[in-house]
Amino acid sequence: MIRVAVVGASGYTGGELLRLLAVHPQVEVTVATSREYAGKPVGMVHPNLRGVYSINFTQFTVDKVSEKSDTVFLALPHGVSMNYVPELLQVGVQVVDLSADYRLKDPSLYKTWYGVEHPHPDLLGRAVYGLPELHGEELKGSKLIASPGCNATATILALAPVVGWEPLGNSFLSDVKVGSSEGGAKPSEGSHHPERQNAIRPYEAEGHRHEAEAEQELSRLSRGQVRVSIIPHAVSSVRGVLASAHAWSSSDVEETEMWRRFAEFYRGKSFIRIVRRGIHPYPDPKYVIGSNFADLGFAVDRRVRRVTTFAAIDNMMKGAAGQAVQAFNVSRGFQENEGLRIPPMRPV
Amino acid sequence: MIRVAVVGASGYTGGELLRLLAVHPQVEVTVATSREYAGKPVGMVHPNLRGVYSINFTQFTVDKVSEKSDTVFLALPHGVSMNYVPELLQVGVQVVDLSADYRLKDPSLYKTWYGVEHPHPDLLGRAVYGLPELHGEELKGSKLIASPGCNATATILALAPVVGWEPLGNSFLSDVKVGSSEGGAKPSEGSHHPERQNAIRPYEAEGHRHEAEAEQELSRLSRGQVRVSIIPHAVSSVRGVLASAHAWSSSDVEETEMWRRFAEFYRGKSFIRIVRRGIHPYPDPKYVIGSNFADLGFAVDRRVRRVTTFAAIDNMMKGAAGQAVQAFNVSRGFQENEGLRIPPMRPV
Amino acid sequence: MIRVAVVGASGYTGGELLRLLAVHPQVEVTVATSREYAGKPVGMVHPNLRGVYSINFTQFTVDKVSEKSDTVFLALPHGVSMNYVPELLQVGVQVVDLSADYRLKDPSLYKTWYGVEHPHPDLLGRAVYGLPELHGEELKGSKLIASPGCNATATILALAPVVGWEPLGNSFLSDVKVGSSEGGAKPSEGSHHPERQNAIRPYEAEGHRHEAEAEQELSRLSRGQVRVSIIPHAVSSVRGVLASAHAWSSSDVEETEMWRRFAEFYRGKSFIRIVRRGIHPYPDPKYVIGSNFADLGFAVDRRVRRVTTFAAIDNMMKGAAGQAVQAFNVSRGFQENEGLRIPPMRPV
Amino acid sequence: MIRVAVVGASGYTGGELLRLLAVHPQVEVTVATSREYAGKPVGMVHPNLRGVYSINFTQFTVDKVSEKSDTVFLALPHGVSMNYVPELLQVGVQVVDLSADYRLKDPSLYKTWYGVEHPHPDLLGRAVYGLPELHGEELKGSKLIASPGCNATATILALAPVVGWEPLGNSFLSDVKVGSSEGGAKPSEGSHHPERQNAIRPYEAEGHRHEAEAEQELSRLSRGQVRVSIIPHAVSSVRGVLASAHAWSSSDVEETEMWRRFAEFYRGKSFIRIVRRGIHPYPDPKYVIGSNFADLGFAVDRRVRRVTTFAAIDNMMKGAAGQAVQAFNVSRGFQENEGLRIPPMRPV
C-alpha cells in the first residue's frame, strides 16, 4: 500500500486526484493539503467527495507530508511546486508534479517561456516527462515525474506518429478546443457562466506556453527541430480537449499509410484508441469523458494535400490527474490502468 | 462469477449497464442483444466502449440468453419486457427488469396508467420493487427485480422520511427537473439539440406515470393513501434529476426534526448522502454525476409553513443502471456498492 | 426625443437597457454611468455594443445626469438607488428604478425583507409598480416607476388570472427555474462556469425576497391575503425564467374555465401570449429569448386536483430591461412595444 | 412596400427570415410556404413567432408566389431551389436563393463538388454572390442573389484582407467551429441533444463543400489561385461560427500592417467590426448573436511566423438570413442595415 499525499488538493486537479486515488487498490491517501481550506473537511470543498473522504485538509509542510507519505502529487500553480521538489526528493519521497515546473529539459527554454531563471536546473535532467506512451521505460522507478500539460498532451499524442515523416515536413499547427475546467477552480470574468457559456473564444493565441513542451517532445521523436504552433479556443463544454493538428503535405498521403503509422506507434498502449470510419469517424472528447483514454484519428484532404491528426482527451484525466496516476502506476510497477479502469460515460 | 446478459443493450440504459458491468469484479457480460445492431460490435454503437468490449450485439432469444447467462438485465421499452419475463423465470434465470412492467403491485392500477391489462398479473406479487433503501430485505435472493423509474426514485427518496408525518399531511407535489438523457437514445423533434438546449420545458404535466409507483411506495411507508403529483421539466443538462418535493405544513416544522428524520431513515445506507449547510447547502445532481449516490436535503420556509425536500440523482445511475446493479448486488449477497465505487466527477 | 441616462450601465441590466434604447426611435441615450469604468468606452465593457455606441461611461452625479436627461433608468444594486431617487425627482427627472428599493408599498414590509428602515417611506406611495399588465393606467405620466423583479414578474403573471378564484384557495407555490444571467455580471464561486454549467441547484429556498412583492401584487388582485412561496432553482441556461406555480384545488377545475380566465385577464395585452396544445403545449422561456413576451399557460391534473400555471420570460427582457422600457413607453404615452418589436430568436 | 415570399419557411433559415422580415419597415411578408406544414399557422411550427404572424403556411407554386410577391427568398435544400429559379426570374420576381445552387460561377466546379451537372449553367453568370462586403456594386438591382454559406462567409471575411499578400502565400487553413443550428431543423442521431451537447466533433473533414465558394471568392480577390482548406468542428453552442484561418508567413508580419489591411479593406462596411486588444482581444461569436455583425480580428505568432485571422458570426444571421436581408437591402437601394439594427444580445 503506497501512502499518498495530494498537495494543493482543493483545486480541480487536486480534487480529481482524490477522486481517482479513493478507489485505487494500491493507494491510501493519507494527506490532502490546502492553504485556504486547512482544517475543513474534503467534502466541504469537493461536494462530489462528500462521504468518500473522512479526512480534513491540512497545511502543507515538507516534514508532515514526508512523514506520512511515500508519494506526493503536487497540484500547485506553476512556479510554486519548483521550490518544494528538491527537499521532498532529499527526504526520499517520490514526487509527481502536475505543474509545468519540471517539464522542460533546457533551463534556457524555461526562462524564455516562464520569464524567470529556473532555481533548480540540475533537477530538470532527473525529471521524467510523464507521458507514459513516450517515456514508459524511463518512468519505471522514477522519483520525479513532470506530468504534461493538457493541450501539450493532446498535441503530442496527435502528432507523435507523423513527426519526422518526410511528406509532412516539420511545421505543425495545432488548433485546440478546450472545456472550461481547464482554467481551474478560481472564478474570473472570463469564466463567469454567462460569459463562458456559448463562447468560442481564442486565447493565448500568440505564444501558448505548451508549445515549448510539445516542441521538445516532438523534436526528440522526429530527430530534428519541429515547429509547433498551438492556438487554443475556449468552447462551452466543462471537460474535454480536442487537438486538430494540421499540416500541408508535399506529396499524396495514403490513408492506409496514416493508419499504419498510428497503429504501429501505439501498439499495445492501453489508453490509446484509434478511431476511423463508422458512425463516429473522428475522435470527440465527449466519448472519453471520465476516463484516461485518448482517442486518436486523422483526416486526409487529398485535393489540397492537407493532413489533420486529431486527439481527444478528458483534460482532467488524460490531460491531468488520470495521466499522473498512470505515470505513477508505471513508476511503481503496477498495472498501467490500476485505478483507471472505469470506461468513459455516455451520454454526458 | 455471474454470467450476465444485457437485453436491449444498444440504448442508453443498456450502454450504461455495459459500462458498469465491465468493471464489476463478480460479473462477466456474456451477451448483449440489440435488434437493430445485431452482428455489430458494441463499440460501434457506444463509442465510449470502444476497446472495452470485444463482443458483438446479438439477436435476443430466451434460449440463447438463458444458456449463456445467470442474470438478465432487461433494458427494453415498456410493454416489451413483460412478455419475456415469465419464460426467463421458468428456465431459472434471474431477471432485473428496468422497464415499468413489473413495478406496480395492483394489476388494476397497471391498466389505469398503462392502458392495457397486465398479461401476467400473478408475477406482480413476486416482483420486488428494486429500490434497495426501501426493499433491501426482500431483494435478497429475489429472482425478479422491477427497477424503479428515475423521477419516481428521486421523488420517493426525497419524501420517504416525511410521509406519514402528521404536520405535512398526505399531499405532496414533486416538481422535477431532468436532463436530456432521460428521454433515451432515439432522436425526436423535442430532443433535437437546437430545440432541447436551453429549454426549461414542462412535459407530461397532467398525469405523469411515475406518480403511480411513487404513490404505491410512499403510501406503503405512510400507512395511508398518499397523493403525489409529479411535474417534470426538461432542462439543459444531459444527466441529472432534481426532485423538489413540496408540502404545506399544518404547524411549525423544526429544521432539527427534519434532519433527525432523514438521518434515522437512511442510517447505514451507503448511497445516501444528506446535504445541509456549507458552501453547497442543497442537493444538486451536478455533484453525483457518474455515481450511484442520491444526495438528499430539505428547506423549511417557516414564514409560509412550506417544507421542501430535495433529491438529486444521476438519472443513468441511481435513476436506472446504477440502481439496477445495486439491487442485483443485494439480491446476490454481494457488497451493495460492488462495481459502483467510483466517486462522482467534478466538475462535469 | 427623450434624453435618457442609464445609471449603473456596466452591469448586465444596464447593458441590456443600452442595447434596447439604441434602437428606440423616441430615445437618445445621452449618459451611461459606471463607477468602475468611468472614462472607458461602452463597447469595451459590452463587446456586443462595440460600434453601436460612441459614448464613454461617466461617473454618476445627480447634477450631470439631470442636466443631460429627461428620464433616468437606475440599474443599481438594491439599497443604492434609494438614496438618489428623491433628489432626481426633485429636479424633475423621471426615474425608472430597476432595483427592489421602491417596489413595496408598506415600509414595515421593506424592513422585514431587506433588514433596514426605508429612508424615504413617503415615496413608496408615489412609486408605481412597473408591471404594465397590472398597472397600465397608473403608469401613464408616472414620475417614479419601480420595475419588478424577474422571479416576481413570472410568478405574478402566472398567477394573476387565478388568485382569488375560490377553488384554488390562497396558497401558491411557485417553483422557479432561472438562467445564470439573473445573478448579474459579477463573478463568484457559484457562477464559475465549471460549477454553474449543468447545475440544477435550489437557492434562497427559505424566504426568497421576491415573495414580498408577489404577495403584495397578488393579494391586491385577489382582495385577500395570498400566501406565495417562491423556490428558485439555478439551471444551465444563460437567459430564461420559468415559473411553475402550483396549487391544490378544492373542486374539479375545467380546462376551458382556466383558458377563459387567462384570455379575459390578458385581453389586449400585447406582450402576453397564452400557450396551450400543439407541438409546444406549455410555455418555455426558450421561445421568448430576446423579446419582451411572457408566454403563459397551465396544466390541470384532475386525478389529484392539482393546478399549475406557467409563465416563461426572458429575465433580461420582460424580467428586467424590456419591462422597464415597456413601462417607460406607457408612462410617456408611446406605443407600448416601441423599441421592443423584434420577435424572439429561434433557435438559440 | 416590397411584397415578400419566404419559400421553405418552416426550417430554421426560413423561420429566421420571417423573424427579421416581420419588423422590416419596407417589407410585407405575404407568403410563407412549407410542404410539410401547409395549412398550419406559422406560430405552430415557430413558437417564437406565435402572435407575430397571422398567416398560415401554404404550398409553394411559382404562380401563387409570383402573383403575391415581388421578391422570393428561397430557403430550400441544395438541389431543390435550382429548378424553380428560372421560372421565377422569367415572371419577373426577384430571387434571393439561400441554397448553394447558384453560388459557383464555373459549371464544371459545380459538378465536381455537388456531383451532378448544373441544369441552368447560363444563370450562374447572372447570379451575384450575395456577400455585400465584396459585391456591393453588383448587388444593386440584381435579380438573382446567391446567398453564401455560413462557413464560407466566415472564412472569406477572415481572409479577404490578406489573400494575395505576399508573405502569407496562397495556402490557407480555416479551422471552423460551429453551433448546432447550422445543421438545420431536422433531427438526426448526430443532433440528438445527449449526443450533440458537449461534443467537439470534426465533420466533413476531407473536402468540405464550402471550400469551393471560398476559393472562388478569395482567388478572385487575390488575382491568383488560392488554396483554402476548411475543417469544420461541431461545438456545443446553438448559434455561432468562428473561423480561425491559419497561414504560415515567409517573413515577419507586423501587427500594425495587419491592422491596416483589415481597416482599409472594410472601411465603411456597417456590419464589420474589427476587434483587437482590450478585455475581449479576439472575436467570439458569442458577442454577435442575434445581429448581422461579423467580428474580425487576428493573431500574429512571431516566433513561429504563424498568422491567424478570425471571423465570428451568428450563423443564422450573417451566415444565412441576416446576410440575405442585407443583400436584398442593397439590391433594392435601401439602407444596408434596414431591419437589421438590433444590436447583439449579451449575455446569451
What is the pLDDT, as a whole number, of residue C88? 97
- Which one of A12, A191, A236 has the shortest CB-CB distance to C187? A191
D179-204 per-position pLDDT tens digit: 999 999 999 999 999 999 999 999 99
Mean pLDDT of C298-311: 97
Q: What residues 117-136 of chain C have any CB closer than 8 A to a CB of chain B?
A: none
Look at C229 and B306 and tell me if their CB atoms are within 8 Å.
yes
- Please, which residues 150-169 of chain C have a Cβ atom closer than 8 Å to chain D? none
pLDDT of residue C279: 85
The CA-atom distances, in angstroms, between C127 and each of C95, C121, C122, C131 are 9, 10, 10, 12
Indicate the domain borders of chain D: 2-147+320-332, 151-313
Q: Which residues of D are annotated as a binding site?
A: 10-13, 315
Residue-level pLDDT at D279: 85
- pLDDT for res C276: 87
Q: Report pLDDT for D337.
A: 97
- Shortest CA gap D287–chain A (Å): 9
Chains touching chain C, criterion 3+ CB pairs below 8 Å: A, B, D
Outline where DSSP puts E strands in C258-305: 272-274, 294-301
Mind telling me the catalytic residues of D?
150
Is pLDDT above 90 for D261?
A: yes
pLDDT at D336 over 90: yes
Question: Average pLDDT for residues C190-214, to the nearest whole number?
Answer: 97
Q: Give yes or no for C194 touching A (CB within 8 A).
A: yes
C45/D279 touch (CB, cutoff 8 Å), yes or no: yes
Tell me the pLDDT tens digit for each residue of D30-56: 999 999 999 999 999 999 999 999 999
Q: How far apart are CA D16 and CA D49, in angstroms?
A: 10
Nearest to D145 by CA among D19, D325, D15: D325
Query: Chain B contacts of A50, Cβ < 8 Å?
Result: 273, 275, 287, 295
Query: Which of A244, A303, A347 has the CB atom closest to D233's CB atom?
Result: A244
DSSP state of A342: P
Q: Is the Cβ of B342 closer than 8 Å to some Cβ of chain C?
A: no
- Among chain C residues, the shortest Cα distance to D184 is held by C347
> Is the pLDDT at D312 greater than 90, yes or no?
yes
A13 labeled part of a ligand binding site: yes
pLDDT of B277 reads 79
Contacting partners of chain A (3+ CB pairs under 8 A): B, C, D
Per the prediction, chain D carries an average pLDDT of 97
Instruction: Please count the residue pairs, one from chain C and one from chain D, whose beta carbons lie less than 8 angstroms apart.
Output: 110
What is the least distance, in Å, from the CA of D56 to any CA of chain B? 21
Does the beta-carbon distance from A343 to B49 stay under 8 Å?
yes
C-beta atoms of A299 and D206 within 8 A: yes
Whether chain B has a CB inside 8 Å of the CB on D181: the answer is: yes
Q: Is B315 annotated as a binding residue?
A: yes
Fold agreement (B2-147+320-332, B151-313): no
Counted residue by residue, chain A has a size of 348
Q: Which residues of A touch C10 (CB under 8 A)?
A: none
Q: Is the pLDDT of residue C318 over 90?
A: yes
Query: Which value, in Å, is the radius of gyration of the alpha carbons in chain D?
Result: 20
pLDDT > 90? residue D112: yes
A10 is in an annotated binding site: yes
How does residue D323 score in pLDDT terms, banded at 50, 70 and 90?
very high
- Is residue D173 a contact partner of residue D246, using CB atoms and an 8 Å limit? yes
Q: Given the C-alpha cell 436530456, which residue does it identify?
A: B180
The answer to whether ipTM exceeds 0.90 is: yes
Among residues D147, D153, D165, the alpha carbon closest in space to that of D75 is found at D147
* Closest CB to B242 among C200, C229, C303: C200
List of chain B residues whose C-beta atoms are within 8 Å of the C-beta of residue A45 = 279
Task: Please name the residues between 238 and 257 in chain B that touch chain C, using a CB distance below 8 Å.
Answer: 238-242, 244, 246, 248
**Each residue's pLDDT tens digit, B76-91:** 999 999 999 999 999 9
pLDDT higher than 90, residue D98: yes
**Nearest 5 degrees, angle CA D61-CA D64-CA D130?**
75
Size of interface B-D (CB pairs under 8 A): 52
Rg (CA), chain A: 20
Q: Which chain B residues contact residue C226 at CB under 8 A?
A: none
CATH says A151-313 is which class? alpha beta
For residue B284, the chain A residues in CB contact (below 8 A) are: 47
Q: Kindly name the residue from C146, C150, C312, C316 that is annotated as catalytic.
A: C150
Identify the segments of chain B with pLDDT beneath 70: none
d(CA A99, nearest CA chain B) in Å: 19
What are the residues facing C18 on neighbouring strands? none
Decide if pLDDT at A304 tops 90: yes
Q: What integer best gives the mean pLDDT of chain A? A: 97
Nearest CA-CA distance, residue A51 and chain C, Å = 20
The arrangement of strands across the sheet holding B94-97 comes to B27-33, B2-7, B71-74, B94-97, B144-146, B128-129
Q: Which residues of D are annotated as a binding site for NADP(+)?
A: 10-13, 315
- Contact at CB, B205 and C312, closer than 8 angstroms: no
Tell me whether residues C191 and A189 touch, CB distance under 8 A: no
Q: Is the pLDDT of residue C278 over 90?
A: no
pLDDT for the residue numbered A276:
87
Q: How close, in Å, is residue B183 to chain D by CA atoms?
A: 9
Give the 3-state DSSP-derived string for chain D, with helices as H, strands as E and coil as C.
CEEEEEECCCCHHHHHHHHHHCCCCCEEEEEEECCCCCCCEHHHHCHHHCCCCCCECECCCHHHHHHHCCEEEECCCCCCHHHHHHHHHHCCCEEEECCCCCCCCCHHHHHHHHCCCCCCHHHHCCCEECCHHHHHHHHCCCCEEECCCHHHHHHHHHHCCCCCCHHHCCEEEEEEEECHHHHCCCCCCCCEHHHHCCCCEECCCCCCCHHHHHHHHHHHHHCCCCEEEEEEEECCCCCCEEEEEEEECCCCCCHHHHHHHHHHHCCCCCCEEECCCCCCCCCCHHHCCCCCCEEEEEEEECCCCEEEEEEEECCCCCCCHHHHHHHHHHHHCCCCCCCCCCCCCCCC
A285 contact residues in D (CB cutoff 8 A): 200
Nearest one of A100, A62, A64, A58 to A79, comparing CA atoms: A100
Residue-level pLDDT at C240 = 98
pLDDT by residue (tens digit) across B252-298?
A: 999 999 999 999 999 999 999 999 878 899 999 999 999 999 999 99
Residues C2-147+320-332, CATH architecture: 3-Layer(aba) Sandwich (3.40)
